[in-house]
Amino acid sequence: MSTKAYAAQSATSPLAPWSLDRREPGPHDVQIEILYCGVCHSDLHTARDEWGGTIYPCVPGHEIVGRITKVGNHVKRFKAGDLAAVGCMVDSCRKCDNCKQGLEQYCRNGMVGTYNGREKATGANTYGGYSKQIVVTEDFALTISDKQPLEAVAPLLCAGITTYSPLKYWEIGKGHKVAILGLGGLGHMGVKLAASFGAEVTMLSHSPSKEADAKRLGAHNFVLTSDASQAKKMNGYFDFILDTVSAEHDYNMYMNMLNTNGIMVCVGAPPTPAQIPAFNLILGRKSLGGSLIGGIPETQEMLDYCATNNIVSDVEVIDIKNINESYERMLNGDVKYRFVIDMATL
Ligand code: NAP
Ligand code: ZN
Ligand code: ZN
């Protein structure tokens, strides 16, 4: 089945119209007409091969919401006409200990990314949500509420789960002093979720223009990290820092802001490695951790939580023709706070 899409043909070529083939739905597959797809900074890192390992042509997009158009004859949870969503993964081995615990993102045999992954059966490159249709096993399709605006639900599939999962794993809630570092797609969901869990939330941002928004999103405090005197005042303050920054930055400055026993968790994935002296962990028994998206059961739990608590993303809906310009704006921090492609424009 031929499907319209937008693809990067190389690390230096802009995204442009392309057409790709989707498989016919097998017995356990659902076919989804994509209505909206969020634009994650990982799409940009991958399209431009900033992490290495990009397979071209590359069709990014892993914040997918749409409507089921066809189901295989063994599909149990969906029927044609239902809403459905797909996040960052479309498959995993489903047999290893991590998969069995619902931690498919840490599959011992490698999860299959929604784009730039290798299909288990054929080894073929996977193509993401900057396209009209996707076919996926029902086990990796999520259900979403019909009560929330679909375009604002789309970013929950990556930005939402990537911030929800570490906040849950480290049991963040009332009584914790939490900082969200970087107010972009992930950061704005981190603020909303951490505040909804009852934590005291501080936004650490290098953009002075974002203070009012940070507070509107639920942050109790705002610290301008480019102002050394403001930053220094936070030394020793936080129990937990969630680092969502996409570009090179000084981790040590933020490790200093942790209280004794404090934890900093990286979800932002800058292409350049960080330098951290062991003493910055030793003094104060501090921890530095990381977290990758979330498993399928937890992603469903997060979607249900957001539906119940009326949490969605703040989005700017774009025409797919403007995707390259949107990448530039994202790099300049000029997005409030997630671009979402209206797939009717493709
Ligand atoms: P984004 O919308 O572009 O937000 C990134 C934010 O980082 C910016 O808004 C900015 O916030 C801050 N920032 C950017 N450049 C900076 C610099 N030079 N110094 C300091 N701060 C800077 O990106 P996103 O979609 O939220 O993604 C963020 C990162 O998370 C990316 O690296 C992405 O690949 C990664 N990611 C990881 C996972 C995972 O599973 N771990 C999942 C999705 C995405 P301020 O203006 O407020 O400073
Ligand atoms: Zn993402
Ligand atoms: Zn596995």
* Predicted pLDDT at 341: 99
Expressed in angstroms and rounded, the spacing between residue 298 Cα and the centre of ligand 3 is 16
DSSP tag of 27: T
Determine if ligand 1 sits within 6 Å of the CB of residue 62: no
Q: State residue 314's pLDDT score.
A: 98
- According to the model, what pLDDT value does residue 139 have? 98
Residue nearest to atom 18 of ligand 1 (CA): 247
Cα 109 to Cα 56, 82, 93: the distances in Å are: 23, 32, 6
**Of residues 124, 157, 179, the one with CA closest to residue 312:** 157
Task: State which ligand 1 atom lies nearest to the alpha carbon of 293.
Answer: 40
pLDDT of residue 160: 98
Give yes or no for residue 188 CB within 6 A of ligand 1: no
What ligand 1 atom has the least distance to the C-alpha of 210? 47
Ligand with the closest atom to the CA of 248? 1
Burial environment of residue 149 by CB neighbours within 10 A (0 to 12, 13 to 18, 19 or more):
middle
Q: Cβ contacts of residue 125 below 8 Å, gap of 6+?
A: 55, 116, 117, 118, 119
> How buried is 16 (Cβ within 10 angstroms: 0-12 exposed, 13-18 middle, 19+ buried)?
middle
- Ligand 1 atom closest to the Cα of residue 246 is 32
CA distance 187 to 179: 10
Residue nearest to atom 38 of ligand 1 (CA): 267
The reported pTM is: 0.98
Which residues in 74-215 belong to E strands, given as ranges? 83-86, 89-91, 112-113, 133-137, 177-181, 200-205
Report angle CA 23, 26, 27 to the nearest 5 degrees. Answer: 170
Mean pLDDT over 295-305 rounds to 98
Please report which confidence band the pLDDT of residue 25 belongs to, taking 50, 70 and 90 as the band edges: very high
Q: How buried is 255 (Cβ within 10 angstroms: 0-12 exposed, 13-18 middle, 19+ buried)?
A: buried
Of the residues 37, 246, 252, 265, which should be mutated to test ligand 1's pocket, given the most ligand atoms within 8 Å of the CB?
Answer: 246
- 114 CB under 6 A from ligand 1? no
Q: Whose CA is nearest to atom 39 of ligand 1?
A: 292
Give tens-digit pLDDT for 303-346.
Answer: 999 999 999 999 999 999 999 999 999 999 999 999 999 999 99
Chain segment 154-196, per-residue pLDDT in tens: 999 999 999 999 999 999 999 999 999 999 999 999 999 999 9
Whether 105 is in the pocket of ligand 1, judged by its Cβ within 6 Å, is: no
State the Rg of the chain over Cα: 20
- Angstrom CA distances, 215 to 183, 191, 330, stand at 11, 9, 21
How do residues 195-237 score in pLDDT, each as one tens digit? 999 999 999 999 999 999 999 999 999 999 999 999 999 999 9
For residue 160 the two structure tokens come to 């939402």
Locate the ligand 1 atom nearest the alpha carbon of residue 266 and give its number. Answer: 41
- 60 pocket-lining for ligand 1 (C-beta < 6 Å): no
Query: How are beta strands 338-342 and 315-318 bridged, if at all?
Result: parallel
Ligand 2 center–CA 284 separation, angstroms: 32
Q: What's residue 58's pLDDT?
A: 98
- In whole angstroms, give the CA distance from residue 194 to residue 197: 5
> Phi/psi of residue 44, each to 5°?
-70, -45
Task: Please tell me the distance between residue 92's alpha carbon and the centre of ligand 3 in angstroms.
Answer: 5
Shortest CA distance to 346 belongs to which of 22, 58, 35?
35
Centre of ligand 2 to C-alpha 38, Å, is 8
Nearest CA owner, ligand 1 atom 1:
184
pLDDT, mean of residues 45-64: 98
The atom number, within ligand 1, closest to the CA of 269 reads 32
Share of the chain above pLDDT 70, in %: 100
Question: With a 6 A CB cut-off, is 54 part of the ligand 1 pocket?
Answer: no
Share above pLDDT 90 across residues of the chain, in percent, rounded to a whole number: 100
Mutual angle of helices 159-169 and 185-196, in 10-degree steps: 40
* Beta carbons within 8 Å of 252's beta carbon, 6+ residues apart: 275, 276, 277, 280
Cα–Cα distance measured from residue 252 to residue 269, given in angstroms and rounded to the nearest whole number: 16
Single-letter residue type at 325: E
pLDDT average, residue stretch 83-97: 98
